Amino acid sequence: MSIAIARAKEIQYEIREGYGETEVLEGVYPLVHGFKCVLKAGYDVKPEVYADKTAVYCFTRGTGYITDGLRAYNIDELSFYIPDFSREFTIHAVSDMEIMKIVVDLLESDKAAYEDTHMVLPSFKCFSETEPYDQSCKGPNTRSWSVIHSGNLARVLMGIVCAEGEGTVEKGHPSVAQYNYALEGADFELTVDGETINTKEGDWSYVPAGLDHSLVSEKGKKVFYIWFEHMVDEVKLS
């Protein structure tokens, strides 16, 4: 089976003091660790912070806000937060929240690439603030938005795709491994190396580098997902 997938309905949590988190797709790719998290309304959580890893938080459902000692960030739509390494922060839930958390191990070359050029952290961005982009592998009515641009966070890239009755058809890209997280209302077919499975909201899949793949919906159904890519080769500074 070419497709590794964690089904939303099969993910189990042990919730303590309103918060639960579980690792998904464990071991499919050595440097990236994905976690599905829930935070119940009225609770807050102070996540673990990392001095030598990057972390990305995608707030895929619910409302709340983040405080990090510098400012507060309101979460009232699909939103993204990248903490400043070991700076502590707190997530407060106003309504029940679902969170996609990604932690990326950094090699020494990644640290050097980050020090050379990087986005300013902490970074918070709402879906409505993301930048649209176009790509030849996508249908004429498929819309895409960039969240993390190439070169801004070492080997990490991230974006969003949305379409009805079409989507993305890509030749294998040997340079990146890709994760896909299906968003609210999604119901589409994921095909990897000739194998096809249906994907719905909350499902989290992985596509190995180099395999042809597509994410396409039937007429009247919706493609809507976050893609997260990690470049498989180390960055070499000139």
d(CA 219, CA 164): 7
Residues 62 and 165 in one domain: no
pLDDT at residue 1, as a whole number: 57
pLDDT at 2: 64
- Is residue 37 located within the same domain as residue 101? yes
Residues 114 and 206 in one domain: no
Q: Same domain for 39 and 144? A: no
pLDDT in tens, 184-235: 999 999 999 989 999 999 999 999 999 989 999 999 999 999 999 999 999 8
Q: What is the mean pLDDT of the chain?
A: 94
- Residue 37 tokens read as 């998290």
153 & 118 share domain: no
Residue 132 has pLDDT above 60, yes or no: yes
On whether residue 193 sits in a domain, the answer given is yes
Asked if residue 135 and residue 78 are part of one domain, the reply reads no
Q: Which of 84, 107, 128 is the last residue of a domain?
A: 128
Q: What is the CATH number of the domain that holds 211?
A: 2.60.120.10
Asked if residue 237 is part of any domain, the answer here is no
Q: Are residues 98 and 136 in the same domain?
A: no
Give the HSE-up count for residue 4: Cα atoms under 13 Å, Cβ half-sphere: 15
**Tokens 């960039």 identify what position?**
146
| pLDDT confidence of residue 81 | 99
Residue 173 sits in which domain range? 130-231
Last residue of a domain, one of 102, 128, 154: 128
Are 177 and 108 contained in the same domain? no
Tell me, yes or no, whether 28 and 49 share the same domain: yes
pLDDT digits (tens, 9 = 90+) for 2-43: 689 999 999 999 999 999 999 999 999 999 999 999 999 999
Residue 34 lies in a domain: yes
Residue 55 lies in a domain: yes
Does residue 136 surpass a pLDDT of 80?
Answer: no
**Mean pLDDT, rounded, for 164-176:** 87
User: Minimal CA–CA distance to 229: which of 178, 189, 174?
Assistant: 178
Are 118 and 42 contained in the same domain?
yes
Is there a single domain that holds both residue 120 and residue 22?
Answer: yes
Q: Which two tokens stand for residue 236?
A: 């070499």
Residue 25 to residue 101: CA distance in whole angstroms = 12
- For residue 139, what pLDDT is reported? 75
- Of the candidates 71, 104, 128, which is a domain's last residue? 128
Q: Number of structural domains, the chain?
A: 2
Q: Which of 118, 126, 22 is CA-nearest to residue 66?
A: 126
- Residue 167 burial (10 A CB sphere; 0-12, 13-18, 19+): buried
C-alpha dihedral, 107 to 112 to 156 to 58, nearest 10°: 90
d(CA 112, CA 63): 36
d(CA 112, CA 106): 10
Q: Which amino acid is at 51?
A: A
| Residues in Cβ contact with 42 at an 8 Å cutoff, skipping those fewer than 6 apart | 18, 93, 94
